[in-house]
Amino acid sequence: MRDRLDTALPVSDDAVMPEVAAAFGYHNRTCVNELWRVNPADRQRCDAGGTTAASGGARMAGTIRVGTASWTDRTLIREADWYPKRSMSARERLEFYASVFTLVEVDATYYHPPSEDLAALWVERTPQTFRFDVKAYALLTQHPTKPDSLWADVRAQLPTAVAGKRNVYLSHLPEEAAELAFERFGAALMPLHSAGKLGAVFFQMPPWFTAKRTNRAYLESLPDRLPEFQLAVELRHGSWMQDAEDRRRTLGLLADRGLAYVCVDMPQGFASSLPPVLAATADLAVVRFHGHNADTWEAKGITAAERFAYLYSSEELRDWAPRVRELAGQARETHAVFNNCYRDYGVRNARALGDLLGQGVQDGAPDTPT
């Protein structure tokens, strides 16, 4: 995949910490859209106008989809007036959401694997123009997993020494059981895939998943474990993108295996922070917007909604719109996902960005609160 026109776009200096900007060497504000191919041998700087010499200024017209990381958050349903009414059925709620946006991220599948029947309902309740990005089950991303959430035939293969523990990890399973877990998860998503509505499977790795050899090998193994699907990887430790060489190595690995790099906008200054570098390493490009709430980013004892309680300003979204368009020029499809799912923050920001882009919102979408 190294011959693809995959690129990494550093954002402007004023959007990142000075030490991050220095590490990546992007101080020239006249070249904010500086482009880097994943293959260092093919690297090209943009000209002062922000275009690549090889393309002569032409851009691939990739599709952009916009949405949020869930449509059923408790605070959105109970504390906001975005949905037409609060007493909606599961069908009505998803149908309304899908009448506005062209994309949603399914968060519940991280906590408990889905069933084929549930995936079939999602297909039935959404238009053909709609896509689901599905979060990989916690077990498959090397997070602690509740044993009672495992498939029965997988749980039966837990070694006696860990069967009674509060949490188990993929490493606790014999290889045969681990492969069965991937098989079961993939089978449940086939209704979405067969209907053309599965965008990608998101592997959000834990903060302790650092850039070491065994973890690189695990990422390399993923396409063979779920070969039918487009996979995307979100990393949560700065070692993967700490300096220019780390970035080249990480993006190169993902590109070689056809894994989409999940670009992140997130608080800086933590071990889990990655710089806001935009990169397309597959036919799909992804940006997840976590907000900039540094006070709650690693706080203990709070809900996910409280952690991501950040409302992007109109100015911030206007600044992001051209960056998303630029990224979309390097991929067949680009997904912009707002994970600031506190009350109606995510849906309001997603609608605003979609309106700025002129893409990502359904044609004829109903008016929604702004």
Write the pLDDT tens digit of every residue in 6-32: 345 544 333 433 343 333 333 322 223
Q: What is the pLDDT of residue 9?
A: 53
Least confident of 3-7, 210-214, 225-229, 292-296: 3-7
- Spatial separation of the C-alpha atoms in residues 70 and 205, rounded to whole Å: 18
Percent of the chain with pLDDT over 90: 75
- State the pTM of this model: 0.85
Give the chain's domains with CATH numbers.
55-357 (3.20.20.410)
**What tens digit of pLDDT does each residue of 39-67 get?**
333 333 333 333 322 333 445 568 999 99
The average pLDDT across 351-364 equals 96
Tell which wins on pLDDT, 103 or 301.
103
Q: What is the pLDDT of residue 283?
A: 97
List the alpha helices (DSSP H) in 31-151.
Answer: 74-79, 90-100, 116-124
The average pLDDT across 218-246 equals 97
pLDDT of 279 strictly over 70: yes
Confidence tier at 1 by pLDDT (50, 70, 90): very low
- Spatial separation of the C-alpha atoms in residues 132 and 201, rounded to whole Å: 9
Residue 225 identity (one-letter amino acid)? R
Count Cα neighbours of 272 within 13 Å in the Cβ-side half-sphere.
15
CB 95 within 8 A of CB 363: no
Q: What is the DSSP string of 161-220?
A: HHHTSS-B-GGGS-HHHHHHHHHHHHHHTHHHHHTT-EEEEEEE--TT--SSHHHHHHHH
The average pLDDT across 139-158 equals 97
Q: Is 56 left (phi over 0), alpha (psi -120 to 50) or beta?
A: left
Least confident of 1-5, 178-182, 227-231: 1-5
Q: What is the pLDDT of residue 319?
A: 96
Q: How far is CA 181 from CA 116, 157, 188, in A?
A: 14, 11, 11
- Spatial separation of the C-alpha atoms in residues 15 and 36, rounded to whole Å: 19
Residue 9 identity (one-letter amino acid)? L
Q: What is the pLDDT of residue 306?
A: 85
- Spatial separation of the C-alpha atoms in residues 97 and 151, rounded to whole Å: 30
- Spatial separation of the C-alpha atoms in residues 285 and 336, rounded to whole Å: 9
- Spatial separation of the C-alpha atoms in residues 259 and 230, rounded to whole Å: 7
Q: What is the pLDDT of residue 369?
A: 86
Closest CA to 335 of 291, 280, 293, 267: 280
Q: What is the pLDDT of residue 305?
A: 81
Neighbours of 117 (CB within 10 A): 9
**What tens digit of pLDDT does each residue of 246-256 get?**
999 999 999 99
Confidence tier at 299 by pLDDT (50, 70, 90): confident
Q: What is the pLDDT of residue 8?
A: 54
**What tens digit of pLDDT does each residue of 63-111 get?**
999 999 999 999 999 999 999 998 999 999 999 999 999 999 999 999 9
Average pLDDT, the chain: 86
